[in-house]
């Protein structure tokens, strides 16, 4: 009986620790993309990477926006960590890589943007963030997104230019109309005074 | 009151104008001059001893405004011309007449359908307001083009 209790006390924390791997899996969007945090054994850091809904499908040449959250679970005080960020396609080929050092006290939230090369192939991609801190200890997270075909819809700029042209045309048309109207009123006034003058002079 | 279209040889045009002006002497009239500047018309009428004091000229030949008592309208501006005629008709009290010299000139500057529309408008408005309309047209100037316009007049006289 005592043996059974001890086994449970060991197994429950282990189960909780390893189940965190699947904690951040995003099953929305018909499993197209996911956000995953991998807490490595003995890691004192937790790391999350999230891609907002609007950026889960980006066009080549456009920017990919990500939100990264680091939580310092162990050491007290400020600690410098190295972040290795990689974007890979579904075959594992590297598209982009970035390395930077970040200082974390208890937790850090920041946004990072990546310009997707304009010649990038269409398809599913994943972004991996690996955090390396003292003694080579690591924590990692990943998320996915899709590079999609450039939309053929009229861009906002073109749309606003068109609206501007139409509005300008309307103003010109109204100006011309009002000019004709003013001329007509002027002419009527001229005729009225002419008739009055001529017929009074009789 | 009636509307009349008079088609006559070009050499008789001035005599016809003189006789109409003489007939309506003392009655206010609107003279639309499309062939000669109003100054020439006025001079010719005065030479014949016709009183032009009650004539309101709409000069469609001269572009430059030299006198305040004459209205200048380009022959292509049929809407403006129609509006001017209507205003004159409205503003001149009592009996009045409208003389169009010469209608066929409008066909040189405008599409015949537009001229037909213009004629329809002014004859209708004049009939409504009891105004005598006399339109002149020389025989030599695109007489066949006047076919569309004939119907709008109460009477067509060929001399």
Please write the tens of the pLDDT for every residue from A29-78. Answer: 444 456 665 555 455 788 999 999 999 999 999 999 999 999 888 777 78
Average pLDDT estimate for A154-182: 89
- The CA-to-CA distance between both ends of chain A, in Å, stands at 134
Domain spanning B3-158, CATH class: alpha beta
What is the reported pLDDT for A18?
A: 44
pLDDT value at A15 more than 80? no
A79 or A87, which is more confident? A87
**What are the Cα distances from residue B155, in Å, to B3, B101, B150?**
6, 17, 8
Handedness of CA B146, B148, B152, B158 (dihedral sign): positive
pLDDT value at A22 more than 50? no
CB atoms A194 and B56 under 8 Å? yes
Is residue B7 within 8 A of residue B159, CB to CB? The reply is: yes
Is residue B30 within 8 A of residue B96, CB to CB? The reply is: yes
CB atoms B83 and A194 under 8 Å? no
**What are the Cα distances from residue A56, in Å, to A113, A123, B103?**
13, 12, 74
Residue of B nearest to A192 (CA): B91
Parse chain A into domains and list their residue ranges.
2-148, 153-202
A194 contact B CB<8A = yes
What is the reported pLDDT for B97?
A: 94
pLDDT value at A21 more than 60? no
pLDDT category at B62 given cuts 50, 70, 90 is confident
CB atoms A195 and B88 under 8 Å? yes
The C-alpha of A148 sits at a distance from chain B's nearest C-alpha, in angstroms, of: 57
Is residue A40 within 8 A of residue A140, CB to CB? The reply is: yes
In terms of DSSP bridges, do strands B29-33 and A107-115 run parallel, antiparallel, or are they unpaired? unpaired
A201 or A75, which is more confident? A75
pLDDT value at A164 more than 90? yes
CB atoms B71 and A194 under 8 Å? yes
3-state secondary structure at position B116: helix
Average pLDDT estimate for A85-95: 93
- Per this entry, what is the length of chain A? 202
Alpha helices in chain B (DSSP H): 13-23, 38-47, 78-91, 103-109, 112-128, 147-150
**What are the Cα distances from residue A51, in Å, to A46, A138, A139, B51?**
17, 22, 18, 93
pLDDT value at B63 more than 50? yes
The DSSP H or E segment spanning A123 is strand A123-133
Parse chain B into domains and list their residue ranges.
3-158
Average pLDDT estimate for A15-38: 46
| Range in A33-47, A126-140, A171-185 with the lowest mean pLDDT | A33-47
A183 contact B CB<8A = yes
pLDDT category at A5 given cuts 50, 70, 90 is low
The DSSP H or E segment spanning A146 is strand A137-148
3-state secondary structure at position B126: helix
Helix axes B78-91, B112-128, angle to 10 degrees: 10
Considering only CA atoms, which of B78, B152, B154, B66 is closest in space to residue B111? Answer: B78
Q: How far is Cα B14 from Cα B48, in angstroms, rounded to an integer?
A: 11
pLDDT value at B67 more than 90? no
CB atoms A198 and B84 under 8 Å? no
Average pLDDT estimate for A178-199: 88
CB atoms A194 and B93 under 8 Å? no
Q: How far is Cα A95 from Cα A41, in angstroms, rounded to an integer?
A: 29
The C-alpha of B84 sits at a distance from chain A's nearest C-alpha, in angstroms, of: 7
Mean of the per-residue pLDDT values of chain A = 80
Residue of B nearest to A183 (CA): B80
What is the reported pLDDT for A50?
A: 93
Q: What percent of chain B shows pLDDT beyond 70?
A: 96
Average pLDDT estimate for B120-127: 91
Considering only CA atoms, which of A143, A117, A140, A109 is closest in space to residue A34? Answer: A143
**What are the Cα distances from residue A159, in Å, to A62, A151, A164, A165?**
19, 14, 9, 10
For the segment(s) A2-148, the CATH number from 2.60.40.3880, 3.40.50.300, 3.20.20.140, 2.30.42.10 is: 2.60.40.3880
pLDDT category at A183 given cuts 50, 70, 90 is confident
Q: What percent of chain A shows pLDDT beyond 90?
A: 44
What is the reported pLDDT for A11?
A: 52
**What are the Cα distances from residue B138, in Å, to A142, A156, B118, B149, B159?**
94, 62, 19, 14, 10
Is residue A112 within 8 A of residue A130, CB to CB? The reply is: no
Is residue B150 within 8 A of residue B108, CB to CB? The reply is: no
pLDDT value at A175 more than 50? yes
Residue of B nearest to A197 (CA): B69
CB atoms B91 and A192 under 8 Å? yes
CB atoms A191 and B91 under 8 Å? yes
Residue of A nearest to B52 (CA): A198
**What are the Cα distances from residue B13, in Å, to A132, B6, B41, B53, B148?**
108, 10, 12, 22, 22
Mutation site for B-interface testing, chosen from A177, A193, A195, A202 by largest number of B Cβ within 10 Å:
A195
CB neighbours of B155 closer than 8 A, spacing ≥ 6? B2, B3, B4, B5
Average pLDDT estimate for B13-40: 91
pLDDT value at B10 more than 60? yes
Other Cβ atoms closer than 10 A to A195: 19
pLDDT value at B126 more than 60? yes
């Amino acid at each position: 009986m005592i043996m059974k209790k001890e086994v449970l006390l060991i197994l429950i924390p282990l189960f909780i620790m390893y189940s965190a791997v699947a904690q951040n899996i995003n099953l929305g969007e018909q499993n197209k993309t996911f956000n995953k945090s991998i807490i490595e054994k003995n890691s004192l850091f937790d790391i999350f990477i999230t891609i907002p809904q609007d950026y889960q499908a980006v066009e080549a040449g456009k920017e990919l926006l990500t939100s990264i959250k680091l939580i310092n679970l162990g050491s007290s005080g400020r600690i410098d960590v190295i972040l290795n960020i990689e974007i890979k396609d579904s075959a594992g080929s590297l598209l982009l890589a970035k390395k930077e050092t970040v200082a974390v006290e208890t937790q850090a939230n920041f946004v990072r943007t990546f310009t997707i090369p304009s010649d990038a192939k269409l398809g599913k991609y994943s972004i991996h963030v690996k955090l390396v801190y003292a003694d080579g200890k690591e924590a990692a997270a990943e998320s996915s997104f899709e590079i999609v075909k450039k939309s053929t819809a009229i861009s906002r700029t073109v749309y606003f230019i068109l609206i501007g042209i139409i509005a300008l045309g309307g103003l010109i048309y109204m100006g011309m109309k009002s000019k004709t109207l003013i001329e007509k009123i002027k002419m009527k006034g001229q005729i009225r005074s002419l008739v009055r003058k001529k017929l009074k002079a009789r | 009151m009636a509307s009349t279209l008079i088609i006559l040889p070009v050499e008789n045009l001035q005599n016809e104008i003189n006789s109409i002006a003489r007939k309506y002497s003392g009655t206010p009239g609107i003279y639309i001059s499309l062939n000669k500047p109003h100054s020439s018309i006025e001079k010719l009428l005065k030479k014949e001893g016709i009183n032009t004091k009650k004539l309101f000229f709409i000069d469609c030949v001269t572009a430059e405004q030299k006198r305040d008592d004459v209205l200048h309208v380009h022959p292509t501006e049929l809407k403006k011309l129609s509006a001017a005629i209507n205003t004159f008709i409205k503003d001149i009290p009592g009996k009045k007449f409208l003389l169009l010299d010469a209608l066929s000139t409008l066909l040189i500057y405008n599409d015949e359908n537009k001229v037909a529309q213009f004629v329809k408008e002014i004859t209708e408005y004049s009939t409504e307001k009891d105004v005598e309309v006399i339109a002149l047209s020389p025989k030599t100037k695109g007489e066949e083009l006047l076919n569309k316009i004939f119907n709008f007049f109460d009477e067509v006289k060929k001399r």
